[in-house]
Amino acid sequence: MLKNLVLFSLLFGLVVNGKRPHSTIHVDPSASSSSSNFTTIQSAIDSVPSNNSHWVCISIKHAIYKEKVTIPVDKQYIYLKGDGNKRASIVWGSSGSINSCPTFTSYADNIKVENLNFVNSYNYPPKKSGARRIKQAVAAMVTGDRTAFYHCNFSGVQDTLLDAMGRHYFKHCIIEGAIDFIFGAGQSIFEECRIVVNVGSSMGAGNIGCITAQGRSGANDSNAFVFKNCNVTGNGKAILGRPWRGYATVIFFNSSLSDIILPQGWDSWFYSGYVDQLTFAEVNCYGPGSNTSNRVAWEAQLSQEMAEYFTSSNFIDADKWISKQPH
């Protein structure tokens, strides 16, 4: 009877001193499987009850996990946490459809991820010779709402991070790629992240990379990519973004731009006749790639009010959900 009460408390989060504790299960590839220990990340996720409504921490031991990992839509309130000082890595090498090739896919709302690496190894790490033909090869796809990533790495070449939809927050993350490697229609803030362009090694000399391909499709949509206090670096040459959809919105705010950024800054791609619908902007950026004197003529000039709107935590309603995540 006592054992059952303890289990109930862990799984369903009895409130103690005004705080709601979360249960913890462990992933260790060298451990024997038990009710609280799993050898794969997916099996640990599968053990979380459907329609879960209380936080469950999945503590992941440092190792390389060669598996595709999916958080289904009915497994909310999962906290994936790499255990220890070194990040555990989830690695898979698949290309093709952006919906089927991701190494990691999160469909559920209310997810927190910390201290993990996500790698699509299809053509990563980049090779100067003998590499596979570059294709879409997504390292992570996020479609759920209220999802946050801290101290995570996303590694790939083309379409590394599919920030598909929902309100998301990325902090102290590293995102690496060459072509459209941060794309989708997420309503997201990337804060103090390192954006690494890897064009020279991935594609060869003379090719041009692209960091973002944002997918806002309507004038009244709320989604946008906001890069706040970030560091853009790498090798080769690249533009900051091009529109995946006709109302694409990307803002780089108070960020360091290295000399890999081409003077034009942006490209209109398939929307050359609709550049007045695009909102591509740089505010208070610095570094050798931040000179805007030769940017495309249609780069947006944001008012102070609009800049404050996009860069405030209120843009993703952070105060309503990030403070409620487990720590």
Return the active site residues: 159, 180
Alpha-carbon distance 213 to 40, whole Å? Answer: 33
Closest CA to 172 of 118, 244, 115, 110: 115
Say if residue 125 is preceded by a cis peptide, omega within 30 of 0. yes
Which class for 295: exposed (0-12), middle (13-18), buried (19 or more C-beta within 10 A)?
Answer: middle
Other CB atoms within 10 Å distance of the CB of residue 280 = 26
**CA 236 centroid distance within chain:** 23
Return the beta strands (E) in 199-278 as ranges.
208-214, 224-228, 231-235, 237-243, 249-253, 256-257
**Which amino acid, residue 255?**
S
